[in-house]
Structure 1
Amino acid sequence: MSAQRESWSARSGFILAAIGSAVGLGNIWRFPYVSYENGGGAFFVPYLIALMTAGFPLLFLDYVVGQKYKGAPPTAYRRMIKSAEGIGWWQVLVCFIVGIFYAPILSWAGHYILYAFSHAWGEDTESFFSHSYLQSGKGLDFTFVPHLFVGLVIVWILALIIMYGGIRKGVELANKICIPLLIVMFSVLVARAVMLPGAIEGLNTFFTPDWTKMANPKVWLAAYGHVFFSMSIGFGIMVTYASYLNRNANLTGSGLVVGFANSSFELLAGIGIFSVLGFMAQASGVPVSEVVKGSIGLAFVAFPKIISTMGDAGTIVGILFFGSLFVAGITSIVSILQVPISALQDKFGWSHKKSVTVVGGASAVLSLALFSTRTAITFVDVIDNFTNNIGVVFGAVLSIIWVTWFNRPVMEKLLTHINAISSFKVGKGWVFMLTVVTPLSLIIALVLSIKSLLTEGYGDYDFVTQVVFGWGVVAFFAVGAFILTGIKAHPSHENTDKES
């Protein structure tokens, strides 16, 4: 028999950890931009529909698979359907890669907390970020950048300390500290932001609906894509977290709390970010549309520029903003790392500490090698794009259709199990969503992404960079999943399959 599996101290510990995983860097800078680009206030309609028809159904599926079959994705999927172990390993390797490029963004946010005290970025924030801070070179430039290395070392030490603590003393404790801290910090930030001159103009831009965009299929795909990534579903995190729940945990009740908490935070982020953008627009005498930048550009270029115009108040806003990014990132990277750590424990019967050392050590070494160089931003951008748009979506599509299309009796078992222990009952509607709506929306998104990458490439990056660090990463998922599936599991862990 294998050793007793760890568990959360209470269901609240699981809920906090799941919220911590879902609420990450993307909620703070990605959601406001995505909603603005896709119809403003009108985007909330497809967003809510996507949340109900794909977000919650897939979240519930992840929960019931992890909780019923008590394992990380490869183990849980194998116990459910013997042929599905490879899908689990694909998802594990996706998390492994996400952890590697998530750490540098966390490190940048940490540095910018310090820079916010003195507004060290100066007048030209774009030049400071690209040239002074990242020291970006042209093409593939592996020149070592010492301060990037130091920042990454600190992030990895912090992450590993948490991971060595295990589920209760590490992951759960970190979330009990970080989530309340994040809520307080971000609430203060939003309260300060909405009082700025021009904030109303920013909020009008954010909430004013552009109903004409509802006819555009890309808006609906953006909504499904965002819900999917935002809730940390479909790539192993929630399966792993749910595996530490007790046998009678209320799955759907927990899922509803996590989903709505995540969406509420995104709405709060949108209010805060667009209030500040409205202030910037008024100060510079241009429309809000001209100061909106998505992704990293918003966090590390536009925001510092705004902070510099706010005097002493800007210092407080800057510390709160980058502090929020850092704290949200810590809870997310912890959840990402837990997936491969748990998977190796399950497969090889390793101790928790050995699994943390192997996963954490390998992740840290690769992360330091790639992101302590002048090509750091290129690697983050390319690897992130291919991992999210192909790696995450493909793994999720496989996990859904393997159960709902090719193994329908298993779906009936899951339906019976989840309703037996949950307060909010799911029925044939849940099965229909998972069989038709969710897989089809994801397949369409996947096909469009692959077509775009094959015909247009990604960004202005050269062919070698895209092949090696883009398509190469996708190949790593496939080859790695095949090899890991073929390796014989530790005997004690094979025996537990018969009990599940």
Structure 2
Amino acid sequence: MKQKNGFSGQIGFVFAAAGSAVGVGNLWRFPYLAAKDGGGLFLIIYLVLVLTVGFTLLTTDIAIGRKTGKSAIYAYEAMRKKWKFLGVLTFLVPILIMTYYAVIGGWILKYITIYLLGSGEQAVDSNCFSNFISAPSSVWYSIAFMLLTSFIVYNGVEKGIERVSKFIMPVLLLMVVGIAVFSLTLKTTLEDGTVRTGLQGLAVYLTPDLSGITLERFLQIALDAMSQLFFSLSVSMGIMITYGSYVKKDVDLNKSVSQIELMDTGVAFLAGVMIIPAVFVFSGLEGMSAGPGLMFVSLPKVFFCMGFAGRMIGILFFTLAAFAALTSCISVLESITANCMELFHSERKKTTGILSVVYLIVTAVIALGYSVFYVEVKLPNGSTGQLLDIMDYISNSFLMPFIALLSSIFIGWVMKPAWIAEEMELNGGKFRRKKLYNVMIRYIMPVVMTILFLQSTGLLSQIIK
């Protein structure tokens, strides 16, 4: 069944796709990894991977979507009936991600209210975040975020997703740039008279740290960068296939892919400029090791040190994070909706309505996984997780690398790269990175994705040992 609606043009598609790619991970995970993995060294490796692996995965998904005009399940079936199972696997990823993305959005909404209703001092308490998520009342914030996502998807592609993305993405970019510039102007004087400045923090962020570098360390940094890139671009989860199916044939896909790469990487880079100098000024190098707690634990302390300006920055930052979470959450629900519309031959409003009820219930269960439904499970990668972590592990660490591996084999050796190139060259367009794509999809991607899959599942360390 051909999709009856779609994006109005290239700008609408690029903003929607970039909105999907630019998620919460760009705002806290990227800066944390950059600080942990040698600053500029991580940035260089990440940029190289964006222009090779990221380009290959993004091009593949979007071209498949537009050429078949279908969402993941039927797209793969239309290409080769025996490969429909790959479409089903791909469809499972957004189904699992949707169980917890609105929960994270709810956490961000809570922090917006903290800064709107007070000075932000409440957020400085190290136990603020853990106390909040372990309280059953936290579920209402996640439900509110899920309802907002459902409302936008309910209104369709052009009137819902595209309209919201065209507003949110420019505002998000302006906010990132504004906060980044402000961070560079910060400075503080320590008790011993030493002055720390935002520009010094920028130098920490940009300068490649090669101290203690070994082959094993370099490979770990590369795998961290690959993991971040992989999940950041919304590839191998059917989202870009679905969005690609909405793109008109006169849109230049080559230009669109480049613009999405640039926007997603630009926001991630600027997030580092926004966060690392500020954390360095008020917390020093020790503050860089906050890890996943950077957004909800370390940054509120930084904002509080800024006084009244910090409250304003706190409101702006968490509003920015909410925008990033919302555009990504929309794309995940849209991917599920599009597949269900094709599977059950149902119309959008009815499908979205049913899915919304299902995910409101599931969101509530996952949000209560830190209180009412608390569990602790040992995961294959060595970590211990609750319900949210389990869903995240299955979708991100297991399924996505596995799907990318199978997809690279399918496109590279069964369909052949020329099948993708034909769509990229439609209407006389020039596939500028055609040779690179051919080498990547056939030879490099299968190897890289096998390594990433083994590393994510904890098998790589066992093999090395």
Q: Give TM-score scaled by structure 1 length.
A: 0.83
The answer to whether residue 332 in structure 2 is matched with residue 336 in structure 1 is yes
CA distance in 2, matches of 1:258, 1:96: 24
CA distance in 2, matches of 1:44, 1:306: 24
Q: 1:4 to 1:150 in 2, by over 3 A?
A: closer
User: For 1:436-492, what per-residue CA distance to the aligned partner results, in whole angstroms no more than 9, with x for missing partners?
Assistant: 21221111011122235997xxxxxxxxxxxxxxxxxxxxxxxxxxxxxxxxxxxxx
Structure 1 segment 90-109 matched on structure 2, within 5 A:
90-109=89-108
CA distance in 2, matches of 1:49, 1:400: 19
Q: 1:59 to 1:126 in 2, by over 3 A?
A: same
Match of 2:252 among 237, 250, 253: 250
CA shift, 1:186, in A, is 2.2
Match of 1:390 among 367, 388, 398: 398
Match of 1:427 among 434, 439, 447: 434
CA contact (8 A) 1:277 1:292 kept: no
User: For 1:376-428, what per-residue CA distance to the aligned partner results, in whole angstroms no more than 9, with x for missing partners?
Assistant: 783323322332111221122222212213x14x4322222322343443433
Matched residue, 2:72: 73
CA distance in 2, matches of 1:383, 1:359: 18
CA distance in 2, matches of 1:269, 1:368: 30
Matched residue, 2:190: none
CA shift, 1:179, in A, is 0.9
Matched residue, 1:462: none
Structure 1 segment 63-462 matched on structure 2, within 5 A:
63-117=62-116, 118-122=118-122, 125-131=125-131, 133-135=132-134, 145-146=136-137, 148-197=138-187, 198-211=197-210, 213=213, 215=215, 216-281=218-283, 287-295=284-292, 297-375=293-371, 378-405=386-413, 407-408=414-415, 410-421=416-427, 422-451=429-458
* Letter matched to residue 175 of structure 2: M
CA shift, 1:240, in A, is 0.6
For the residue of structure 1 that corresponds to 2:297, the secondary structure is helix
CA shift, 1:214, in A, is 7.2
Matched residue, 1:482: none
* Letter matched to residue 85 of structure 1: K
User: For 1:241-267, what per-residue CA distance to the aligned partner results, in whole angstroms no more than 9, with x for missing partners?
Assistant: 010011232111100011011111111
CA distance in 2, matches of 1:396, 1:436: 13
CA distance in 2, matches of 1:113, 1:4: 37
CA distance in 1, matches of 2:121, 2:369: 20
* Letter matched to residue 268 of structure 2: E
CA shift, 1:4, in A, is 5.6
* Letter matched to residue 343 of structure 2: K
User: For 1:143-189, what per-residue CA distance to the aligned partner results, in whole angstroms no more than 9, with x for missing partners?
Assistant: xx12x122122111111110111001111011012112212222222
For the residue of structure 2 that corresponds to 1:234, the secondary structure is coil
Q: 1:255 to 1:270 in 2, by over 3 A?
A: same
What is the identity percentage for the equivalent residue pairs of Structure 1 and Structure 2?
Answer: 28
RMSD across aligned C-alpha pairs, in angstroms? 2.1
* Letter matched to residue 260 of structure 1: L
CA distance in 2, matches of 1:453, 1:335: 32
CA contact (8 A) 2:454 2:460 kept: no
CA shift, 1:124, in A, is 5.2
Structure 1 segment 6-85 matched on structure 2, within 5 A:
6-85=5-84
CA shift, 1:291, in A, is 4.2
CA shift, 1:87, in A, is 1.2
CA distance in 1, matches of 2:274, 2:124: 23
CA contact (8 A) 1:72 1:239 kept: yes
* Letter matched to residue 386 of structure 2: T
CA contact (8 A) 2:421 2:431 kept: no
CA contact (8 A) 2:424 2:430 kept: no
Matched residue, 2:380: none
> Where in structure 1 are there 5+ consecutive unaligned residues?
137-144, 282-286, 456-500
For the residue of structure 2 that corresponds to 1:122, the secondary structure is helix
* Letter matched to residue 78 of structure 2: R
> Where in structure 2 are there 5+ consecutive unaligned residues?
188-196, 375-384
Counting matched residue pairs gives 437
Once structures 1 and 2 are overlaid, which stretch shifts more, 370-379 or 159-168?
Answer: 370-379
Q: 1:205 to 1:381 in 2, by over 3 A?
A: farther
CA contact (8 A) 1:186 1:320 kept: no
CA distance in 2, matches of 1:162, 1:35: 34
CA shift, 1:3, in A, is 6.6
Moved over 4 A (4+): 452-455
* Letter matched to residue 172 of structure 2: L
CA distance in 2, matches of 1:399, 1:361: 32
CA distance in 1, matches of 2:387, 2:461: 19
CA contact (8 A) 1:56 1:255 kept: yes
